[in-house]
Structure 1
Amino acid sequence: MSNPVFSNSAVFGERRGRGGVQQAPPPQYGQAPYGQAPYGQAPYGQAPYGQPSLEDMYNGPAATTRDTGRMTYDDVIMKTGGLLALLVVVAAATWFVAPGLWPIGMIVGLVLGLVNAFKKNPSPALIVAYTVAQGVFLGGISLAFQGMTIDSATGTAEPIVMQAVLGTLATFGAALFLFRSGKVRVTPKFTRWLLIAMVGYLAFSLLNVVLSFFIASEGFGPLRNGPVGILVGLVAVGLAAASLIMDFDFIKRGVEQGIPAKFAWTAAFGLIVTLVWLYLEILRILAIFNSND
């Protein structure tokens, strides 16, 4: 059986019969012989007068998003890069100007994150607002975590923020490499495993928050201190990396299916959410490991 892509094509389809390829039937009155164009029409592969030929179209520039109205990888990369740049700028400004605003940024970011997650159509304004709120949150919480590593004798702190940034970029690159190489594939089993693990981690995190109101802890919650906290953090980093691979698969399918270009904002938003989570987990591990309390 031939490839259905070709056999069902009007260009590559063949008519088979006795002795292999069947000859075309004789033309009827008013029709052109097989392989020849009717009078007044250009032969196949040639364009009518005044219109570009197939060769001209092939050698011409690639269609852009404005031409097709569909999402492309370039759309996602540009929007994600722009949001990341905004996130870093806001976080740096918060670090130096008003680090105490991080609880407000956390609450506003959580609310806007839920709103954006459940919107059917992406809102660039709300996604940008979410990024700003997360920048405020990350700038303040990063300074607070680094403050836990200050050596009382020398007064210096471990550079855990820079280490967390590098760790986030390295994990992102590793996840992208594994996805592009096909070594890790998003299968129904993979998706089911990740969903169960995420639900379990969410339940654990909520329990840790509730217990922190009743049990004294070092700032990470009673279930996230010491070696146990580092172990849980490593599991969370693995889950975040798996979530990145899922994000890549969603983006790939969206581009292949030709979804509208506006959903590049949704793709960028999803990547930002996962990257923020990944950064926080790596930062928490480093803060626990280097804590001087």
Structure 2
Amino acid sequence: MLRTSNPVLSEKALRSGASAVVTEAMTVEGAVNRSLISVVLTMGAAYWSYSTPSLASMTMIFVIAGLVCAIVLSFKHSLAPLLTPVYAVVEGMALGSISLFADTQFPGIAFQAISLTFGVMFVMLIAYQTGFIKVTEKLRSTVMIATVAIFAVYLINFIASFFGASMSFLHDSSPLSIGISVVVVGVAAFNLLLDFELIQRLGNQGNQPKYMEWYGAFALLVTLVWLYMEMLRLLMKLQSRD
């Protein structure tokens, strides 16, 4: 069973991709190359947005645009070669403005978050490639359950905010809040393992259409963006305690 906690790499989504007529098959190398392009686009857009404070007012527009791209791609995978670069750019624009805001409060924190995010990614990649951590059915199920639980809590907190309530332990700098952030960062990191494993398995099958390389890159980028945001949140909590 090909399963992952990343919703855009769900088994249903991948079966849909595999049902297309394959004229040129997806490869692991192709997915890696598309992932690198997507990351570069995201970082380039983030740098531009970070360097242009006037774009901060458009942050929510970029976030919504990214969400629309994600929803469309979840149902129409063949659009991945077009929408994955678009998603990378708009998410980068949003991250740049968010990082600028964080840096105004805690100078240098964005660079720390970026460094830690890529550091975690490379550590998880090495752990996966060397077999130090194996993606078993039990690990996959555990990560899936943890991911769903995290986003369920986030959704409840978001809805509660409309009624003037919130879960303070998600936002303050208490030991409990910091501990929760550490756990969430860990779950996001383990999602990378699931992404690596699934992309490799699909690439080795030789029956996935070529556009799934871009779709795999998109899915991996979703996890990286989430990991960066959680890393930034954790660092801000730690800094606010000083």
Scaled by the length of structure 2, the TM-score of the pair is 0.82
The CA distance in 2 between the partners of 1:107 and 1:118, in whole Å, is: 17
Paired residue type of 1:103: M
Give the conservation status (yes or no) of the 8 Å contact 1:122–1:263. Answer: no
Name the CA shift for 1:263/1:235 in 2 (closer, same or farther; >3 Å).
same
The 1:275/1:265 distance shift into structure 2, 3 A limit, reads same
1:180 paired to 2:129: yes
Q: Write the deviation string for residues 222-255 of structure 1: whole angstroms up to 9, x where unpaired.
A: 6321123322211111111111000011111112
Report the Cα distance in structure 1 between the residues aligned to 2:229 and 2:45, rounded to whole angstroms.
16
User: For residues 171 and 276 of structure 1, what CA distance do their matches in structure 2 show?
Assistant: 13
Identity over aligned residues, as a percent? 35
Secondary structure of residue in 2 paired with 1:185: coil
Q: CA deviation at 1:117?
A: 2.1
Conserved? CA contact 2:181–2:233, under 8 Å: yes
2:99 corresponding residue in structure 1: 142
Indicate if the aligned counterparts of 1:87 and 1:131 stay in contact, CA closer than 8 A.
Answer: yes
Aligned twin of 2:184: 236
Whole-angstrom distance in 1 between the partners of 2:168 and 2:105: 14
Q: Are residues 1:269 and 2:218 paired?
A: yes
| Cα 1:229–1:100 shift into 2, 3 Å | farther
User: SS of the residue aligned with 1:101?
Assistant: helix
Instruction: Give the structure with the higher percent helix.
Output: 2
The 3-state SS of whatever aligns with 2:154 is helix
Residue 132 of structure 1 corresponds to 89
Counterparts of 2:222 and 2:148 in 1: how far apart (Å)? 17
Match of 2:8 in 1: none
Task: State the alpha-carbon separation in 2 of the partners of residues 123 and 171 from structure 1.
Answer: 26
Task: Please tell me the residue identity of whatever aligns with 1:248.
Answer: F
Specify every segment of 5 or more residues in structure 2 that has no aligned partner in the other structure, as ranges: 1-22
Q: Aligned residues, how many?
A: 216
* Rg comparison, structure with higher value: 1
Does the 8 Å CA contact 1:79/1:268 hold for their aligned counterparts?
yes
Q: What does the per-residue CA deviation read over 1:195-248, in whole Å, with 9 as the maximum and x for residues that have no partner?
A: 21111111111122233344578xx96632112332221111111111100001
**Is this contact kept in 2: 1:145–1:287, CA < 8 A?**
yes
Q: 2:7 corresponds to which residue? A: none
What CA distance in whole angstroms lies between the structure 1 residues aligned with 2:98 and 2:119? 21
Q: What residue number does 2:112 align with?
A: 163
State the Cα distance separating 1:275 from its structure 2 match. 0.4
What's the TM-score once normalised by structure 1's chain length? 0.68
- 1:251 aligned residue: 199
Q: Per-residue displacement from partner, 1:153-199 (whole Å, max 9, x unpaired)?
A: xxxx2x11110111011110111111111122222211211121111
CA distance in 2, matches of 1:254, 1:111: 25
2:37 aligns with 82
Deviations 1:17-58 (A, max 9, x none): xxxxxxxxxxxxxxxxxxxxxxxxxxxxxxxxxxxxxxxxxx
Instruction: Tell me the C-alpha RMSD between the 2 structures.
Output: 2.1
1:202 and 1:117 mapped to 2: Cα distance?
Answer: 18
How far did residue 277 of structure 1 move? 0.4
**In structure 2, the residue corresponding to 1:261 is in which secondary structure?**
coil
Relative contact order, higher structure (CA 8 A, sep 6+): 2
